Chain A
Amino acid sequence: MKERRKPTRLRDYGLQSERLLWPGKGPGAFEQEVGVDQLEERLMLTTVEKAVRWSQANSIWPDTFGLACCAIEMMSIVSSRYDIARFGAEVFRSSPRQADLLIVSGRVSHKMAAPLRQIYDQMLEPKWVIAMGACASSAGMFNNYAVLQGVDKIVAVDIYVPGCPPRPEMLVEGIVRLQERIKAGVPPAYDVRGVAS
């Protein structure tokens, strides 16, 4: 009786390789290069979720939602000194249908709250929200009749970046932390809080 070999071949895992389909074929060029018995060790195996999360995190496209002073600092992270294209935010899409991330930068007045919610609803899931600046996080210095006291009253916020206005590096740190959050598997804020998205 032949001894049971350790599973090293693809067919031992239940996968078909082209050798089964073409019985007379020898090892392919790739296998020859990697080593006939080392193919399974050398390849990276991962779950689909992790791969998807990795790609989501590293290609977040923000939506142009600059309202006030923080918008100017947000524009400066697009500029060459604090470049966020190197973090994957290659373009700022102006259409919410094409954007993943809504960076609410600036004070949100009550009149603007309705368009903000409309834009947020138009974004496709999964979507994340960064409340940039003190005014978006909690109305900042404007505790009055005209300003919505924190944008988390109408949308679910993932990351709050404080400051008035926050330095561009702070916003980049916020985006990097969001990327880490996504890669770690934390669902977007509307899932966490159980609210409508």
Chain B
Amino acid sequence: MVEPGELLETCRRLRDEEGFNFLSDITATDYLGWQTGPEGVAGYYGTHTGRDLNAPGSWGLAALPDAKPKRFSVSYHLLKLVDGAPRLRVQVWVDDGEAVPSVVGIWPTADWHEREAWDMMGIPFEGHPNLVRILMDDDWEGHPLRKDYPLGGEPVRFSEEE
């Protein structure tokens, strides 16, 4: 786990000194609703009317999962190209709107990964040369993979949603 301020320095050190010269993936995860109970452990609701079709009948867990430090986590999966393929995950925790420095200068492949994280989760990357929407329409509003964004779609006929 790394603070956003130290991210660039850490990544540079990992790449040059430790030899992790391959960035495999950048993933952003939204932990809104991580510890809520039986309403829907995944935090948000499955259909456009708000009803969750797969709501578990009973919770029954002995312990709720541990709380997370902030709402969003950005995970960098790094790989060293040697025998045995050692991998490393660097995680940065941010709140809504907090910016993360961009690692495009270190691993150019991060370009599109960061654009996707911005598009889907709304995490701004500081220093990214071209932070525009990539998967959704250019004028789309909202960040679809957030937990408070509805799944969308249509109500299924003859189900209880109508």
A binding-site residues for B, Cβ under 8 Å: 110-111, 139, 142-147, 149
Contacts and interface: CB of A to CB of B under 8 A. Distances in A.
A144 B136 CA distance: 13
Interface residues of B, number: 11
A144 B137 contact: no
A150 B136 CA distance: 19
Interface of B: 47, 136-137, 144, 149-154, 156
A111 B150 CA distance: 18
Contacts of A146: 136, 144, 152
A111 B153 contact: no
A146 B136 CA distance: 8
Given A110-B137, A111-B136, A111-B137, A143 B154 contact: yes
B156 A143 contact: yes
Contacts of A111: 136-137
13 contacts: A110-B137, A139-B154, A142-B153, A143-B154, A144-B152, A144-B153, A145-B149, A145-B150, A146-B136, A146-B144, A146-B152, A147-B153, A149-B153
Given A143-B47, A145-B153, 8 more contacts: A139-B153, A139-B154, A143-B152, A143-B153, A143-B156, A144-B152, A145-B152, A147-B153
Report whether over half of chain A's contact residues are helix, strand or loop; otherwise say mixed: loop
B154 A149 contact: yes
B127 to A, nearest CB: 28
Given A111-B136, A111-B137, A145 B156 contact: no
A147 to B, nearest CB: 8
A90 to B, nearest CB: 37
A144 B47 CA distance: 8
Contacts of A145: 144, 149-153
A142 B151 CA distance: 10
A149 B154 CA distance: 7
Contacts of A149: 153-154
Nearest to B46: A143
Closest 7 CB pairs of A and B: A145-B152, A143-B153, A149-B154, A144-B153, A144-B152, A144-B151, A111-B137
Contacts of A142: 153
B59 to A, nearest CB: 26
Nearest to B136: A111
